[in-house]
Each structure stands twice: as C-alpha cells, then as structure tokens.
Structure 1
Amino acid sequence: MITGHLQALELATLPDALRQILTLPACSLDALRAREDGRFQPEGAEWFCTIGNANTSPAAERHTEFHRDWLDIQVVLEGEEIIGFDTRNVTGQPATERKPDLFILENPQLPKEILLRSGDFVTFAPGEPHRALCCTDRPAVVRKAVFKVPASAFRR
C-alpha cells in the first residue's frame, strides 16, 4: 500500500509504472475533477479509470475485498471516506468471487484505517484487503476515481 496526494506525487515514492500514470496531464486532480463520470482508458494503455459518485456507509455495512490480477489506485475527488485495510496478503483465504477479480473476504481482519480527502490517493496491490467507502461521521456522497492497473505491469 502506498498513499499520497496528487499534488505532491514526489513524496509518495511510487513505482515507475504508477508514477507514469498519475503524472499524465489527464490524471491531474483538476483534470479528473473536470472529467465526466464513467470509464476512460487512453489509447494503447493497459490500465483504465472509472470516475463516479458513491455513497459512504458505516464500516460494519461495507464488504472487504481484494484482487488477484489488478492493482487499485483509489483517488478521492470530492468528499471524504475512511478505508479499512491490512498489509498482509490474503490471497488463498476464504472469499467469494463476486465479479471477475473482485473477491469478497468471508472473515475480514482489518486492523488499520486511513482517512482520504480530496486529492488523496491510496494503492492496493493484488492480495491487499481493503474496505472502501466507510463514512466518517455520517453517510455521505463521495466522488472518486478508481484506476485499475494490471499486475503484469510490475513484472516486466
């Protein structure tokens, strides 16, 4: 897991593959905020990004997920959310595959949390469990950009 702010990328110590994505003009905070909701994928890119609104809710109502083939970069564009997480690899633990490469843990153990506000981002590598969209004080709307980067981008 790596965390940072889109306007201070040099402090995040990102691997080259992620830095190359987040330093693109189309991926600046202002550009992402101005983009319409939906999916975008630059021509020839292996990664894609989905932008849209989501509702936060109490952590007890949220599921805990992980991925095997994709790395997430989750960026808050407007609002705030808490994401529960752990840095241990949960691949192989009891989970249900709800969609391709979206595994929901049956007995999540997430001892850590991070608060994200506008411009903040966090990455989750394959196998890292995370529970996104947890509310701070009360449920609210948050606008996010979620980048999906294939794990193969890091094996070259």
Structure 2
Amino acid sequence: MIIDTLSNSDKYVSLHPRFAKAFEFIKSQNLAAIEPGKYQIDGPELHAGVTDRQGYSREEAKFECHNHWLDIQVCPTGKEQIGWSARERVSSPKGEYNAEKDVTFYDDKPDTYFTLQAGQFAIFYPEDVHAPQIGEGMIKKLVVKVKL
C-alpha cells in the first residue's frame, strides 16, 4: 500500500506501465465536480469509477482485496477513513473469490485505519486488504482500476 499526495504522484509512475496515464487522468479532472459514473481511460485495462454514497461505519465497511487489479483510490473532497491489513494476516474469507469482479471479501477486521483527505491517494496492491468509504455523511470516491 502507498499513501501520498497527488502532488507527489510523479514519484510513482515508474511502478507500473499504466500509472502515468492513471495519474494524468486523475490530475486532469476537476475532482470537486467530477460526476458519479464510469470513465474509460485507456482500453479495458485502465478505467475509473466515481461514486457518491453514504459513508459506512467501521462495522459495515466491506473488507476486500483483488487478485488481478490494483486500485488507486482518491477522496475528491472531504475525507474518509480506510481500514487496511496485509493479506497474509487475514484468514476468514466471506464467501468465495468472485473471478468476474476480481474480489474476495473478508470477515476479519482491519489491523489499522487511516484518513484519506482531498488531494491524497492510496494505492492498493493484491496483498492489501482494504475497507474504504468509512465515515459520516456522503463520501465521494474515485477509484482507478489498473490491470496487473
């Protein structure tokens, strides 16, 4: 997992061949005004989704990870809490792996929580189990999906 500010995103473009286009897309948006929906960035292996929904409590948040996709998550306005654990530390899958959606959910609880604020991003790799959109009120979320 990586947490940093969007102003430092150039430091990470060498970590994956699609990161340059992903961060270019993020930084070209008016994040305060971006509308919920799906956004094509560069073919089927790089796309984004924006949601604007009621925040979850820590108990309600979906604790998940992916096998074939990376997430670059941005909180366009305000702030949100995100729970995190290393995949090697979780042991209670909540059902089977969903290959179509590339997601496994867990009943475990995160080891740690952090706050993601406007102007920041988090990158979640397959070894990062994460529980996003924790907070009160409406939380706008931008997630860029990057194929491994």
- Structure 1: gaps (5+ residues): 152-156
CA contact (8 A) 2:71 2:123 kept: yes
CA contact (8 A) 2:83 2:111 kept: yes
**CA pair 89-47 structure 1, distance change in 2 beyond 3 A:** farther
- Alignment-derived partner of residue 101 in structure 2: 100
Equivalent pairs counted in the alignment come to 146
Comparing 34-43 with 114-123, which one deviates more in the overlay?
34-43
CA contact (8 A) 1:3 1:12 kept: no
- Structure 2: gaps (5+ residues): none
CA–CA distance in 2 between the matches of 1:16 and 1:68? Answer: 16
Per-residue deviation, residues 34-60 of structure 1 (Å, max 9, x unmatched): 432211113536211001202212201
Secondary structure of 2:41's match?
coil
Is the aligned partner of 1:150 residue 2:147?
yes
CA contact (8 A) 1:52 1:144 kept: yes
CA RMSD, aligned part only? 2.6
Alignment of structure 1 residues 12-31 onto 2, 5 Å: 15-17=15-17, 19-24=19-24, 26-28=25-27, 30-31=29-30
TM-score, with length taken from structure 1: 0.78
User: One-letter code of the match for 1:131?
Assistant: A
- Alignment-derived partner of residue 81 in structure 1: 80
CA contact (8 A) 2:35 2:50 kept: yes
User: One-letter code of the match for 2:116?
Assistant: L
Alignment of structure 1 residues 52-67 onto 2, 5 Å: 52-67=51-66
Secondary structure of 2:30's match?
helix
CA–CA distance in 1 between the matches of 2:31 and 2:12? Answer: 19
CA contact (8 A) 1:79 1:141 kept: no
- Alignment-derived partner of residue 47 in structure 2: 48
Per-residue deviation, residues 70-122 of structure 1 (Å, max 9, x unmatched): 1111100012111010134468853324662121113x142111101112111
Is the aligned partner of 1:121 residue 2:131?
no
CA contact (8 A) 2:81 2:133 kept: yes
Comparing 70-79 with 10-19, which one deviates more in the overlay?
10-19
CA–CA distance in 1 between the matches of 2:113 and 2:14? Answer: 20
